Amino acid sequence: MQAVKAALIGIDPGGKPDFADSMAELGLLASSAGSQPVMTMIAKRAKPDPALYMGSGKATELREQMEANEVELAIFNHALSPVQQRNLERHLQCHVIDRTGLILDIFAQRAKSHVGKTQVQLANVRYQVSRLVKAWSHLERQKGGIGMRGGPGETQMELDRRMLENKAKRLQAELEKLQKQQATQRRSREKGGVFSVSLVGYTNAGKSTLFNALTKAGTYAADQLFATLDTTSRRVYLPEIGNAVISDTVGFIRDLPHQLVEAFRATLDETVRADLLLHVVDASSFDREQQMIEVDKVLTEIGANETPQLVVVNKIDQVPALMERGPVVRYDRSGKVAAIYISAKEGIGLDLMRQTLADFARNTDRMKAPVDEVPSVAELSSQAPVKRWESLDVFHTRTGMYSPFDA
Q: Which residue numbers belong to the known binding site?
A: 201-208, 226-230, 248-251, 314-317, 343-345
Q: Which residue numbers belong to the known binding site for Mg(2+)?
A: 208, 228
Exposed, middle or buried, 365 (CB in 10 Å: 0-12/13-18/19+)?
exposed
Write the CB contacts of 343 (distance below 8 Å, at least 6 apart in sequence): 314, 315, 316, 317, 318, 327, 349
The number of CA neighbours under 13 Å toward the Cβ of 21 is 13
Indicate the angle between helix axes 99-110 and 114-130, nearest 10 degrees: 160
- Residues 2, 6, 12, CA angle at the centre, nearest 5°? 160
**Closest among 86, 31, 2 to 226, alpha carbons compared:** 31
Region of 193 (left: φ > 0; alpha: ψ -120 to 50; beta: rest) is left
> How is 99-124 classified by DSSP, letter by letter?
HHHHHHHHHHHH--SHHHHHHHHHHH
Write the CB contacts of 106 (distance below 8 Å, at least 6 apart in sequence): 29, 32, 33, 225, 226
Q: How far is CA 24 from CA 48, 146, 210, 233, in A?
A: 20, 51, 25, 32
Exposed, middle or buried, 110 (CB in 10 Å: 0-12/13-18/19+)?
buried
Task: Characterize the bridge pairing of strands 276-282 and 328-331.
Answer: unpaired
What long-range pairs does 361-364 form, CB within 8 A, spacing at least 24?
A: 361/195, 361/238, 361/241, 361/244, 361/275, 362/240, 362/241, 364/195, 364/275, 364/308
DSSP state of 245: E
CA 186 to chain centre: 24
Q: What are the backbone angles phi and psi of residue 202, rounded to the nearest 5°? A: -65, 150
What is the dihedral sign for C-alpha 133, 40, 315, 300? negative
Q: Which residue numbers belong to the known binding site for GTP?
A: 201-208, 226-230, 248-251, 314-317, 343-345
| Partner residues linked to 22 by β-bridges | none
Indicate the angle between helix axes 265-273 and 152-191, nearest 10 degrees: 30
